[in-house]
C-alpha cells in the first residue's frame, strides 16, 4: 500500500497537501499524488484533471525534473471519471481527461504510474498514457464503461490494443472484465508488480531505470497486432457483437474503434473513439444503464436508518427447510464463510438437501470455477438436523418452508422457545403478510422478511421486507449482511407480494388476458423477449413451476381476494399434472434434461377452448400491443406501490426488476422506461386499452395521473 505519510508540496509551492492534487520534486523525480477520496475520481469540476495537467506542465519545464511518478492517495490509484459529470457541458477553464492525456503524449520526460487497488475506466486510461506502469499486488485494472452503455473515451480503445493486441483488447473492453496485477504483468500492461511499499519501491525503480537511460515509451507510437487477418477478425467480431449483445449498442461501436486502431493512425482512431462515445452517451441505453448504476447504490439507503444505526454480527445461520429454496439460501452464507445449520423435520428431505448442496459445489469444481479446497471449506461448515432446537446458537434463522401461513406461524411460535434473545428471525415468504407471521412471536421487532429469488444461490436480488415492528437495527443488519453475501438488497414494505411479486402478478394476469383474447403463449413470449426480457412470462412460469401459482390462486380464492377477471387456462394445465419444466410440460413441453421449450399443440387447443367457454371471439394481437400491455401493467402497479409507500423510490423498483425479473438493463427498469417513453403516453395507452373489448380491468393509477397533470416524473 502507499505510504501516505510522505509530505508533498502543493502546486503553489507551500508545504502540505493541496485539495485534490499534490506535487513535489524529490531529487530528479516529480511526484504527483491524486487525493480525491474515496476512489480518487478524475473529476473535472473538482479540478483533479486540471491539477494533474498543471503538475506535469510544471515539471515538464523544470530542468531539475528527469521523470514523473503519478500515484493515488489511500487505497487506489483512481477509480476513473466522475460518472455524475457524464454528458454535461465542459467547464470553462478546466481541463478534461482528453486535454490531459493529449498533453502527456507530448511530454519528453518519462512518466511512470504507480497503480494500486481498483484502477478503472479513466484511471486506467490515464495509466495507459503513462510510459511505464508499476503495480501493487492488490491492483486490479479494467475498462468497465461498456456496463454503462458507453466505451472508453480517453484513448482506451486505441492504446490498449497497441499494448496487448486487438483480440485481447476487444475481449477486455467488451466484457469490462477485471484483470489482476499478475495477469496484467503477463499481458504486458504492467511493467513490474511490486510486493513491498509501492511508493518508495516505485521511486527506487525509477532511479535505477534513469541510471540505465529510461526512454520515453509512448503507447500511441506503437502499431496494433492481430493474431489473424484483420478483415476476418473484424468481420467475426462484428457478428459476435450483434448476436451476443443484442440491444446494447456499445459493443458494436467498440469493434468499430478497434477497427480504427488497426487500420488508421492514432490521431484518427482517437477522433473515431470520441465521436462514438459522444453519440453513445446520448442513447437511451446508456442513460438506462447509468440510471441503474446509481439506483443500485441509492437502494442501499433506507429511510429512517442512519449510518450510525448499530448492526449485529452474524456469525452463524440456521435455515429451516431443506428444499430448493432452503438449500439455495444456505449456499449464500456458506459462500461467505458463515457456518449454516439446515433444519428439516423429514430426514430424507434433509439428506437430499445436503447432497444437493454438495453436488452443486462439485459441479462448480468440475467447471474450474471453485477449488477443491474451497469446496471442502464450504461443506465443512454445513451441518443438518431434524430438531428445531438446533437453531439455539444461531444469530439469524431463515425460514424457507412451504408458502402456507399456518405452517409458518407454527414455526415462528416454536422458535421463541429455542432461539437466543438477540437472534434475527427471517422469513423467505414471497407473498404472505409478515406482520401476521411476526404477531405469533414474543419478539416481533426481531422479525424481518428476506425474500430470496430462485435459484437463491444465483439470483442477486434480495428484497429486505421491513414489517411494522421490525427494529432499525434488524433492518440495518439485514442490509449489511446482504452485501456480505453478494446480494443487491432493496428494502420494501409489507403487502401481498411485496414489490416484485405484486407487480409480476399484474404482469402475468395481463399475459393470461392476452392469450385468452387471441394470442398464444409462444407469441407473447416472443414479443416480450424481442423487447429484451431474458424470458417471456409463460417460459418464466414453466421455470418457476405452475403449481406455485396454482397454490396462490387457490388461497386467494378461498380468502375472497380475486376481484379481477379470472383466467382458468393455467388451472387446466395444472389439473393435468403439467407444472412446467420439472414435470416435462407446462405451457411448453421439454425433452428430458433440456430446458428448450417446444410448442405443444394441445396447449393451444386448451387456450382456444378456454376462450370459447368465456364467450370470447379471438382476434389477432400484434407484438406492439403485447409489449404495451405488459409494460403498462407493470408501470401502473408500480405507481400504486409508490403511492402507498411500499417502495421507497421508483429507482428501487427498477433495481428489483433488473436484478430479479430479467427486465432488460438497457431499458433501465419499468419506471425508468415509463419516463423514457413519457408518462403521458403510458396514461393515454392505458385509457386506450380500457376502451377495447374486455378492457374494463384497466384503471389508471391516480398517482400516475397526478404526475402527468403536474408534468412531473417519478423522480
Which stretches of 376-519 are assigned E, i.e. beta strand? 382-385, 396-399, 424-427, 447-452, 461-465, 488-492
**Selection from 660, 604, 657 nearest residue 631 by Cα:** 657
Q: Could you tell me how many helices (H) and strands (E) the chain has, helices first?
A: 28, 19
Residue 384, classed as helix, strand or coil, is strand
Average predicted confidence (pLDDT) for the chain: 93
63-113 residue pLDDT tens:
999 999 999 999 899 999 888 787 677 778 899 999 999 999 999 999 999
Answer for the pair 393, 420: CB distance below 8 angstroms, yes or no: yes
Which stretches of 435-581 are assigned E, i.e. beta strand? 447-452, 461-465, 488-492
| Average pLDDT value for residue range 332-343 | 98
- The dihedral built from the CA positions of residue 503, 506, 512 and 513, taken in this order, carries a sign that is negative
Q: CA torsion 35→36→38→42, rounded to 10°?
A: -120
User: What is residue 675's predicted lDDT score, i.e. its pLDDT?
Assistant: 96
pLDDT greater than 50 at residue 4: no
Residue 32 burial by CB count (10 A; 0-12/13-18/19+): exposed, middle or buried?
buried
How many C-alpha atoms does 584 have within 13 Å on its Cβ side? 4
235-276 residue pLDDT tens:
999 999 999 998 999 999 999 999 999 999 999 999 999 999
- 501 an active-site residue? yes
Distance of CA 517 to the CA centre of its chain: 36
- The dihedral built from the CA positions of residue 522, 528, 529 and 534, taken in this order, carries a sign that is negative
Answer for the pair 450, 430: CB distance below 8 angstroms, yes or no: no
Q: In this structure, what C-alpha cell is assigned to residue 214?
A: 529510461
Of 202, 501, 600, 701, which one is the catalytic site residue?
A: 501
Residue 351 burial by CB count (10 A; 0-12/13-18/19+): exposed, middle or buried?
middle
pLDDT greater than 60 at residue 6: no
457-494 residue pLDDT tens:
999 999 999 999 999 999 999 999 999 999 999 999 99
pLDDT greater than 90 at residue 554: no
Confidence of residue 17 (pLDDT cuts 50, 70, 90): very low
How many C-alpha atoms does 146 have within 13 Å on its Cβ side? 24
Q: Which residue has the higher pLDDT, 592 or 133?
A: 133
User: What is residue 87's predicted lDDT score, i.e. its pLDDT?
Assistant: 67
β partners of residue 465: 449, 492
Residue 452, classed as helix, strand or coil, is strand
**Selection from 428, 400, 422 nearest residue 343 by Cα:** 400
**Cut 0.85: pTM above it:** yes
> How open is the CA angle 410-415-420, to the nearest 5 degrees?
170
Answer for the pair 217, 131: CB distance below 8 angstroms, yes or no: yes
Give the separation between CA 467 and CA 474, rounded to whole angstroms.
11
Of 463, 510, 625, 640, which one is the catalytic site residue?
A: 463
CA distances 673 to 36, 343, 637, 665, 668, Å, are 34, 43, 14, 10, 6
Confidence of residue 16 (pLDDT cuts 50, 70, 90): very low
669 Cβ contact list (under 8 Å, min separation 6) = 288, 291, 292, 295, 651, 653, 654, 655, 656, 657, 658, 663
Of 451, 517, 600, 611, which one is the catalytic site residue?
A: 451
User: What is residue 15's predicted lDDT score, i.e. its pLDDT?
Assistant: 32
- The dihedral built from the CA positions of residue 672, 678, 683 and 685, taken in this order, carries a sign that is negative
74 Cβ contact list (under 8 Å, min separation 6) = 2, 4, 35, 37, 38, 40, 117
**Selection from 506, 514, 512, 580 nearest residue 541 by Cα:** 580
User: What is residue 715's predicted lDDT score, i.e. its pLDDT?
Assistant: 82
Give the separation between CA 215 and CA 108, rounded to whole angstroms.
9
pLDDT greater than 80 at residue 401: yes
User: What is residue 178's predicted lDDT score, i.e. its pLDDT?
Assistant: 96
Give the separation between CA 142 and CA 115, rounded to whole angstroms.
12
CA distances 464 to 52, 63, 193, 488, Å, are 43, 61, 42, 10
CA distances 128 to 99, 161, 206, Å, are 15, 11, 17
User: What is residue 308's predicted lDDT score, i.e. its pLDDT?
Assistant: 93
**Selection from 314, 614, 292 nearest residue 479 by Cα:** 314
pLDDT greater than 50 at residue 358: yes
- 451 an active-site residue? yes
- 701 an active-site residue? no
DSSP state of 70: E
Of 78, 430, 478, 701, which one is the catalytic site residue?
A: 430
- 463 an active-site residue? yes
Answer for the pair 161, 261: CB distance below 8 angstroms, yes or no: yes
Residue 20, classed as helix, strand or coil, is coil
537-551 residue pLDDT tens:
999 999 988 987 888
pLDDT greater than 90 at residue 231: yes
405-436 residue pLDDT tens:
999 999 999 999 999 999 999 999 998 999 99
pLDDT greater than 80 at residue 3: no
**Selection from 519, 520, 511, 495 nearest residue 549 by Cα:** 511
Give the separation between CA 387 and CA 353, rounded to whole angstroms.
16
Q: Which residue has the higher pLDDT, 263 or 8?
A: 263
632-676 residue pLDDT tens:
999 999 999 999 999 999 999 999 999 999 999 999 999 999 999
With a pLDDT cut of 90, the percent of the chain lying above it is 89
| Average pLDDT value for residue range 200-209 | 97
| Average pLDDT value for residue range 213-224 | 95
Amino acid at each position: 500500500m502507499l505510504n501516505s505519510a510522505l509530505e508533498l508540496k502543493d502546486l503553489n509551492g507551500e508545504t502540505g497537501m493541496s485539495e485534490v492534487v499534490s506535487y513535489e520534486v524529490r531529487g530528479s523525480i516529480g511526484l504527483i499524488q491524486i487525493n480525491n477520496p474515496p476512489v480518487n475520481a478524475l473529476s473535472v469540476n473538482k479540478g483533479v484533471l486540471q491539477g494533474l495537467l498543471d503538475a506535469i506542465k510544471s515539471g515538464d519545464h523544470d530542468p531539475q525534473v528527469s521523470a514523473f511518478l503519478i500515484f493515488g492517495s489511500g487505497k487506489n490509484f483512481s477509480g476513473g471519471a466522475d460518472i455524475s459529470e457524464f454528458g454535461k457541458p465542459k467547464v470553462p477553464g478546466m481541463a478534461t481527461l482528453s486535454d490531459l492525456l493529449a498533453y502527456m503524449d507530448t511530454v519528453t520526460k518519462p512518466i511512470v504510474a504507480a497503480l494500486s487497488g481498483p484502477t478503472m475506466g479513466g484511471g486506467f486510461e490515464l495509466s495507459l498514457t503513462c510510459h511505464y506502469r508499476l503495480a501493487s499486488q492488490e491492483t486490479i485494472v479494467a475498462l468497465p464503461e461498456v456496463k454503462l452503455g458507453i466505451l472508453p473515451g480517453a484513448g482506451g480503445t486505441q492504446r490498449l490494443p497497441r499494448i496487448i493486441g486487438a483480440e485481447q483488447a476487444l475481449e477486455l473492453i467488451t466484457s469490462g472484465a477485471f484483470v489482476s496485477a499478475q495477469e496484467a504483468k503477463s499481458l504486458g500492461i504492467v511493467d513490474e508488480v511490486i510486493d513491498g511499499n509501492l511508493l518508495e519501491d516505485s521511486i527506487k525503480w525509477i532511479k535505477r531505470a534513469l541510471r540505465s537511460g529510461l526512454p520515453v515509451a509512448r503507447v500511441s507510437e506503437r502499431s496494433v497486432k492481430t493474431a489473424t487477418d484483420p478483415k476476418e477478425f473484424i468481420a467475426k467480431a462484428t457478428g459476435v457483437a450483434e448476436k451476443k449483445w443484442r440491444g446494447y449498442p456499445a459493443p458494436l461501436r467498440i469493434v468499430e474503434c478497434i477497427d480504427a486502431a488497426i487500420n488508421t493512425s492514432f490521431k484518427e482512431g482517437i477522433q473515431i473513439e470520441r465521436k462514438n462515445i459522444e453519440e453513445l452517451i446520448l442513447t437511451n441505453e446508456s442513460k438506462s444503464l447509468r440510471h441503474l448504476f446509481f439506483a443500485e447504490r441509492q437502494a442501499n439507503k433506507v429511510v429512517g436508518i442512519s449510518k450510525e444505526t448499530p448492526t449485529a454480527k452474524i456469525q452463524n445461520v440456521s435455515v429451516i427447510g431443506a428444499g430448493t429454496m432452503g438449500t439455495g439460501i444456505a449456499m449464500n452464507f456458506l459462500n461467505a464463510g458463515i457456518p449454516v445449520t439446515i433444519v428439516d423435520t423429514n430426514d430424507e428431505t434433509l439428506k437430499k438437501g445436503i447432497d444437493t448442496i454438495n453436488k452443486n459445489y462439485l459441479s462448480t469444481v468440475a467447471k474450474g470455477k471453485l477449488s477443491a479446497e474451497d469446496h471442502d471449506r464450504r461443506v465443512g461448515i454445513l451441518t443438518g438436523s431434524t430438531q428445531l432446537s438446533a437453531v439455539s446458537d444461531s444469530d439469524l434463522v431463515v425460514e424457507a418452508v412451504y408458502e402456507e401461513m399456518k405452517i409458518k406461524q407454527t414455526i415462528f411460535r416454536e422458535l421463541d422457545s429455542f432461539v437466543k434473545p438477540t437472534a434475527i428471525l427471517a422469513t423467505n415468504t414471497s407473498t404472505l403478510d409478515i406482520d401476521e407471521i411476526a404477531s405469533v412471536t414474543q419478539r416481533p421487532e426481531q422479525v424481518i422478511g428476506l425474500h430470496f429469488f430462485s435459484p437463491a444461490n444465483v439470483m442477486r436480488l434480495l428484497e429486505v421486507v421491513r414489517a411494522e415492528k421490525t427494529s432499525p437495527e434488524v433492518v440495518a443488519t439485514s442490509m449489511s449482511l446482504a452485501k456480505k453475501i453478494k446480494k443487491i438488497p432493496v428494502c420494501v414494505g409489507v403487502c401481498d407480494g411485496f414489490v416484485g411479486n405484486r407487480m409480476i402478478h399484474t404482469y402475468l394476469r395481463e399475459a393470461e388476458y392476452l392469450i385468452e383474447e387471441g394470442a398464444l403463449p409462444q407469441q407473447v413470449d416472443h414479443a416480450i423477449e424481442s423487447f429484451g426480457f431474458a424470458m417471456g412470462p409463460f417460459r418464466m412460469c414453466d421455470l418457476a413451476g405452475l403449481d406455485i401459482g396454482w397454490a396462490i390462486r387457490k388461497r386467494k380464492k378461498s380468502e375472497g381476494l380475486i376481484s379481477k377477471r379470472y383466467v382458468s387456462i393455467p388451472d387446466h394445465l395444472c389439473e393435468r399434472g403439467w407444472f412446467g419444466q420439472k414435470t416435462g410440460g407446462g405451457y411448453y413441453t421439454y425433452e428430458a434434461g433440456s430446458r428448450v421449450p417446444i410448442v405443444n399443440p394441445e396447449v393451444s387447443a386448451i387456450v382456444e377452448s378456454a376462450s370459447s367457454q368465456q364467450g370470447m371471439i379471438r382476434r389477432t394481437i400484434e407484438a406492439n400491443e403485447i409489449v404495451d400491455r405488459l409494460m403498462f401493467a407493470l408501470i401502473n402497479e408500480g405507481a400504486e406501490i409508490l403511492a402507498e409507500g411500499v417502495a421507497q423510490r421508483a429507482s428501487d423498483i427498477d433495481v428489483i426488476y433488473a436484478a430479479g425479473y430479467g427486465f432488460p438493463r438497457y431499458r433501465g427498469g419499468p419506471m425508468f422506461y415509463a419516463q423514457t417513453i413519457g408518462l403521458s403516453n403510458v396514461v393515454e395507452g392505458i385509457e386506450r386499452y380500457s376502451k377495447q373489448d374486455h378492457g374494463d380491468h384497466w384503471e389508471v393509477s391516480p398517482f400516475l395521473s397526478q404526475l402527468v397533470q403536474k408534468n412531473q416524473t417519478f423522480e
